Amino acid sequence: MASTDPTIKALRDRLDQVDSDLVELAAERQRIVSEIGRVKQGRKRALRDFRRERQVLDGVRSRAESIGLDPDLAEDLLRRLIEASLTTQEQERGRLAARGDGRRALVIGGGGLMGGWLAGFLDNQGFVVSLADPALMPDGQRVFSDWREAPLEQQDVVAVAAPIRASADILADLARRDPRALVFDIGSIKTPLIEPLRAAANAKLKVCSIHPMFGPDTRLLSGRNVLVMNAGSQRAVDEARSLFADTMAEVREIELDQHDRLMALVLGLSHAVNIAFFNALERSGTPAEALAGIASTTFKRQLSIARDVAHENPDLYFEIQRLNDHGEHARLALRQAVDALQAVVAEQDASLFRQLMLDGRRYLSALAVVDPVTSQGSGGTSGLAADAED
């Protein structure tokens, strides 16, 4: 009966028109920001202006309050539009810069998620990209089931996006084949790769190591870290960094020998915490939906992260724990922290509990409060592909 009510129909027609107008306005906004991006690129200006973004968001909140709209809703809407705009500008800047300019790139492990991301990233810059992965159907021209069948002598970039153990063998084999290309891996763990990387550099290959600190669903690189490690060829480091020059990624150079010590905490510990968290919940016997239905803000955040971790590739995550020589120290620190918390509570010592909280507050106090408009990706593997994380 309600569906034939002329008043409701008229209101719904108006609502449909408003929705259509919103979509058209969003498209117009995208066209404007694309033009702004081209102007910025021509004038060598940075794509992102955090001060301008804050001004826009503050202005939107103020306007929303003046017309009776929830300012949080208005800000969330604009944040999504800003993220879309930044993504468009970043991708267009990569295309316009055309750093690939018809040069050739081979992604070994290109059939997996992170290999696929890397292939798309290079393609956007104008590289002619070939893929090598036993999970793919070969065509003999741009797709190969065995990377050794690809024309290495024609490549300008060879990216190794395979599982960690396979990557070590591939790097060693590449050193023997002596390609003229820039060669790099994107492994999450570097210890098994250090020897073949340095052997390749000693053989005068243009080789380095990269670790993109995000997953393959990532579209906007603003606020994302890309780690670059020198294996003995500064030229390779410089060329690898240049691949990200037209993005908003933070490219940070660290020592190859220090990578796994840091990743034991950044990846290994954070993974272990979330695995322990969802296993503790599972062991409790309480259904997840029952807990989610009464969740606090903190629990919702933790549950969301844990759910993402639970859906990651178990083999990759096991490799990150097993192959990192520093991982045991991180897991031991986690166990000691849980034991300390248990002891403080069992002893009903409020002062020690307070001290635990204050110690953590002091440790974390140096962190800046960051408010970036970013998207998050998740990871996984297939065939030869390795996820670079996170």
Q: What is the CA radius of gyration of the chain?
A: 25
pTM of the model: 0.79
Q: What is the pLDDT of residue 49?
A: 74
Q: Where are the domains of the chain?
A: 2-96, 98-257, 261-364
What CATH architecture is 261-364? Orthogonal Bundle (1.10)
| Secondary structure tally for the chain: helices H, strands E | 14, 8
pLDDT digits (tens, 9 = 90+) for 118-155: 999 999 999 999 999 999 999 988 999 999 999 999 99
Q: Model confidence over 285-324: pLDDT tens digits?
A: 999 999 999 999 999 999 999 999 999 989 889 989 999 9
Task: Among 37-41, 246-250, 329-333, 378-382, name the most confident range.
Answer: 329-333
- The full DSSP string for 30-78 is HHHHHHHHHHHHHTT--S--HHHHHHHHHHHHHHHHHTT--HHHHHHHH
Q: What is the mean pLDDT of residues 188-216?
A: 95
Tell me the per-residue pLDDT of 348-380, one tens digit each, with 9 for 90 and over. Answer: 999 999 999 999 999 999 886 554 443 443 333
- 82 and 91 Cβ atoms separated by less than 8 Å: no
Whether pLDDT at 181 is above 70: yes
With pLDDT > 90 as the criterion, what percentage of the chain qualifies? 68
Across 213-360, the runs of DSSP E, i.e. the strands, are 225-230, 250-254
Domain 98-257, second-level architecture: 3-Layer(aba) Sandwich (3.40)
Is the pLDDT reported for residue 384 higher than 70?
no
Q: What percent of the chain has pLDDT over 70?
A: 92
Spatial distance between the Cα atoms of 222 and 82, rounded to a whole number of angstroms: 12
Residues 6+ positions from 306 with CB-CB distance below 8 Å: 274, 277, 278, 281
Which of the four pLDDT bands, split at 50, 70 and 90, describes residue 30? confident
Which residues pair with residue 314 across a beta bridge?
A: none
pLDDT value of residue 3: 57
d(CA 279, CA 293): 19
Across the chain, what does the average pLDDT equal?
A: 88
Superfamily name with CATH number, domain 2-96: Chorismate mutase (1.20.59.10)
* Cβ–Cβ < 8 Å for 138, 144: yes
pLDDT for 203 equals 92
Strands (E) across 133-216 are located at 143-144, 157-160, 182-185, 206-212
pLDDT in tens, 52-65: 888 888 889 999 99
